[in-house]
Amino acid sequence: MKLHSIDLNLLTVFDVIYTEQNLTRAAEVLHITQPAVSNALARLRLSFADRLFERASGGMLPTPVARRMISRVRRALQLVESCIEPQTQFDPATSDQTLLCSFSGLAEEILLPALVARLQDAAPKMTLRSYHVPRTEQPTELAAGSLDIAVDVAFVNDRDLHHAPLFEDEYVCAVRSEHPQIRRKPTLQQYLDVRHIHLSSRRRGVGDVDTALKTIGYRRTISIRVRGYSAIPRMVNHTDLACTLPRSLAKQWGLKYFALPFTSPPVSIHMYWHKSAAADPTNLWLREQLREALGETNF
């Protein structure tokens, strides 16, 4: 028997007949007529190929098949009811929900440790899944519910998404302590003379810094292009390569860094959620946790 072949309302009738063991009382509880209950029972018997209930002196007694079914039917009905009840109550201390988040590399480095610490304390039964969803796919996944929150650079103007800024950061130039060419804030020429590490999750294309340089007619030399953050401190500290990156990361990693010798727009990190989740208690709570986590960092 396939699920689509049975009217799920019949399971409610089954549960009430099992409880009342009387068709007349079942009809009263269900606010329908006794013939309607009898008709529903006939359909149940046909669907499950069993009589389910037998008349006896004590009323309508369940068959062995019905007795095996009842606990699973009641669990299924409780689950359906929990899905259709207004989701107005949310207690993070007892919730076992799974939070689905997409973080940019910068957001993950800055926010995730503090967010995890908060969840361990305030919501010990909740699960967090953090992974990177490409920016072009985030609106679709937020709409589908396969993402609760995306934390990324300001990038979209989608009418179905809501967003709020979390923080802004400025770009700096990081080099090793004994760099032979850059010992203090570099001049533009010194910046252009050194070779650079470019941090990007994409296979190709330039970043904000390259765009800023292009507007004033210059171009830097990129020797290494990497998508992950973990290797950056070692590469900077053990080579003569420079890396232009957000100040918060250079500070967090203990790198020597200087202000850029040209104007570059800051990196702005926003959190995004779908309009359908705007008033959802869990989503509201998660947004607040992100704001609080930011306040607990050394940003």
For the stretch 113-153, pLDDT in tens is 999 999 999 999 999 999 888 888 999 999 988 899 999 98
Per-residue confidence (pLDDT) for residue 131, from 0 to 100? 86
Q: SS3 string of 274-286?
A: EHHHCCCHHHHHH
Per-residue confidence (pLDDT) for residue 88, from 0 to 100? 57
For the stretch 251-287, pLDDT in tens is 999 999 999 999 999 999 999 999 989 989 999 999 9
Query: Considering only 3-12, 73-82, 133-142, 147-156, which range has the smallest mean pLDDT?
Result: 3-12
What does the pLDDT average to over 61-68? 93
Per-residue confidence (pLDDT) for residue 45, from 0 to 100? 94
Give buried/exposed letters for 258-268 (b at 16+ CB in 10 A, else e).
bebeeebeebe
What does the pLDDT average to over 190-213? 90
For strands 98-103 and 149-153, give the pairing: parallel
Backbone CA torsion sign across 92, 113, 151, 97: negative
Global model pTM greater than 0.85: no
Residue among 184, 169, 202, 190 at smallest CA distance from 262 = 190
The domains located in the chain, with CATH, are: 3-84 (1.10.10.10), 98-165+270-295 (3.40.190.10), 171-265 (3.40.190.10)
For the stretch 18-60, pLDDT in tens is 999 999 999 999 999 999 999 999 999 998 999 999 998 878 9
Indicate the helix (H) or strand (E) that contains 258.
strand 256-259
Q: How many CA atoms lie within 13 A of 198 on its CB side?
A: 19
